[in-house]
Structure 1
Amino acid sequence: MSIKTTLSAALAAGTLAFGAAALADSHGGEAEEGKAMGDKALVILTSDSLETQGMAMILANAMQQQGTDLQLLLCDQAGDLAMEGYQSTQPINTPPSNPAGQVTPEGIMQMLMNKGAQVDVCAIYLPNRDYGEEVLREGVGIAAPGPIAELMRDPSVPVFNF
């Protein structure tokens, strides 16, 4: 390998590293072994609005793609997303810049779970509907107030409410 080729490769690697650091910094943190600082987040979803549910899941997906370890807490009408067989009344359209086209909140939620996100319903969701755990999608849990309160109190864990 010539010195010119070696220098070109080193310059390209340095440019890529600088670009990745700049991108991470523009999103509020520095890159650390592929993960952003503050790599955990709690998303609490209560809305029954299809667009709000969809946007919450789209943003959660973007956070997960940027290296965030997600915990989703579904309460009130949003808890229905966690029920096996639940289907939104219609798909939502994504922005023209997103090639996904039409998606559903529960479809994105399932994708998030497949990539490691923890999804739970509020502790009072099932008892207030006379349902048992058997109605929940595989992998969805029931949140215990103590651990959720710990996450909410942890200043290093951002909490997003929709």
Structure 2
Amino acid sequence: MLSCIWDGGAPKALVWWDAPGGQGKAGEETSNVLVVRYNSFYFGKPYVCYAKHPLMVQTKTCSLTLATVSKPSLLISEAAPVEKSTTWMRCNVENGTKPILYVWQYKNNSGSITTFAQGNSSMVTMSNVNRSVTGLYRCVSSNFINSESSDWFLLDVICEY
């Protein structure tokens, strides 16, 4: 759902959407909300909100172009950290309409996958690492349009001595 609001005061402004695929309600009053069905998104094409206030000559516009999340890549501070050290991982996403959710996953030697962090931060820090965290790691980035996973990366913690 996309919402467009005019805070210009009285009298009330006429607000409408012009959206790809004829999804807008051009010129219809109280059409400030555009409900876009999940399978009817038009990526890379603008959704434009128009606001025409009776006391203003010019129509105001606001445009939004929806973008799918691109396949993320991992950036790691240290691929083979020494025990008791700190390492961080960053999930790099080139494109995607915000907000983007990041999920961090760990796969152990037996193949079991565990989510160990999630939220709106593209970075995770692991402090005081030890051999038990050796394994494969990846990030999954998603927005309201799609979800993509990075390739798995081996984090190999080295014994301190």
Larger Rg: 2
TM-score normalized by structure 1? 0.26
Greater fraction of residues in helix: 1
Structure of greater relative contact order (alpha carbons < 8 Å, 6+ residues apart): 1
Greater fraction of residues in strand: 2
TM-score normalized by structure 2? 0.26
